[in-house]
Amino acid sequence: MTRRISLAWLAAGVVASVTAAAAPADGLASARQRGELVVGVPYLAPAPVAGAKIRTPEGLDIAMAEKLAQDLGLPFSLRQVAPADAARLMAAGEVDVVLADRSVPATSLPAGVAALPTGYAARPKAVIRSDTAMRQPADARGRSVCMAEAAVGAQALAQSWGAVVRTYRVPSDALVAVREGSCDIGLVDDAVWEPLMRFPEWKKFSATLAADGARHERVWLLPAADTAAHAWLGERMREWSRAGAWKALPAKWARDVAFDVYLDQEVADCHG
């Protein structure tokens, strides 16, 4: 399943020429030859049906793919790819890089594939009404815990608590359920929890549970033999870290999701 993402800002020739000039000519040569960056991701939510609301997807995968494409000065598309299929699809030229979770052991990577750290790591963190007594993971037993379909790590963690897991197409739907009282606990990445709670309308939902579960890092999967791509992408990740990308991207995600929830609740209340 492939979805093309329209990047209006790439239409500006100045932006494209500057970003292209900033990148070494040998960085991700397959994408340059194709004229498009194809990024594999573990999960790609189904496209919304005609007339449905457009909502922010789970996690930062799309934002990371977009930023990498910007660095290359190229448009991009996404394809759902399991780590086991990464080597075959990259060798066939169907995808250029694949995003995966560090929890996949390096020893289990397919032959010919290497993992390059992104620098972004997170674990699930609870969103709870501030006037409730839940504060420990044990308090979640038998409670409804909601998250996006793509948040498989959050689902596994909630199941380990003995909670009743409910999944939604996008994270804002899960958070609306928490705000409306139809779900006891929401789960989002801890990296986006803090910027989300900075919004005044989230003050009443800023309680959480004690940290639990391992923090997992996102990695890029690349052909092991493509040393040029490794060097180029490694330098890009160091630059992203120096430029504060792992604060800026979660902050933008939180702002977008907060707006999604606002549209679902406040606008509906005013115009319903």
For the chain, the maximum distance between any two Cα atoms, rounded to a whole number of angstroms, is: 58
Same domain, 43 and 109: yes
Q: Tell me what the mean pLDDT of segment 55-72 comes to.
A: 95
109 and 224 in a single domain? The answer is: yes
pLDDT at 12 over 60: no
270 domain residue, yes or no: no
Domain count, the chain: 2
Considering the domain architecture, whether residues 227 and 139 belong to the same structural domain is answered as: no
- Assess if residue 34 is contained within a domain: yes
Half-sphere exposure (Cβ direction) of 232: Cα atoms closer than 13 Å: 18
Confidence of residue 103 (pLDDT cuts 50, 70, 90): low
Neighbours of 52 (CB within 10 A): 9
Same domain membership, residue 109 and residue 17: yes
* Residue at which a domain ends, from 213, 230, 250: 213
Q: Residue 160 falls within a domain, yes or no?
A: yes
Residues 62 and 190 reside in one and the same domain: no
Choose the final residue of a domain: 213, 237, 257. Answer: 213
201: in domain: yes
Indicate which CATH number applies to the domain containing 193: 3.40.190.10
Task: Look at residue 83 in the predicted model and tell me its pLDDT.
Answer: 87
24 and 157 within one domain: no
pLDDT at res. 271: 40
- Record the tokens describing residue 265, joined without a space: 């609740």
In a domain, 272, yes or no: no
Residue 60 lies in a domain: yes
Angle between helices 227-242 and 61-72 (to 10 degrees): 110
Do residues 105 and 6 share a domain? yes
Average pLDDT over residues 55-74: 95
- Note whether 27 and 151 are same-domain residues: no
Q: Is position 271 within any domain?
A: no
Query: Are residues 203 and 160 part of one domain?
Result: yes
26 and 158: one domain?
Answer: no
0.95 exceeded by pTM: no
Query: What's residue 25's pLDDT?
Result: 47
Q: How much is the pLDDT for 269? A: 44
**51 and 171 part of one domain:** no
**Averaged pLDDT for residues 189-210:** 97
d(CA 205, CA 62): 27
What is the predicted pLDDT for the residue at 17?
A: 39
Q: What residue numbers bound the domain in which 26 lies?
A: 2-121+216-265
pLDDT tens column, 225-262: 999 999 999 999 999 999 999 999 999 999 999 999 99
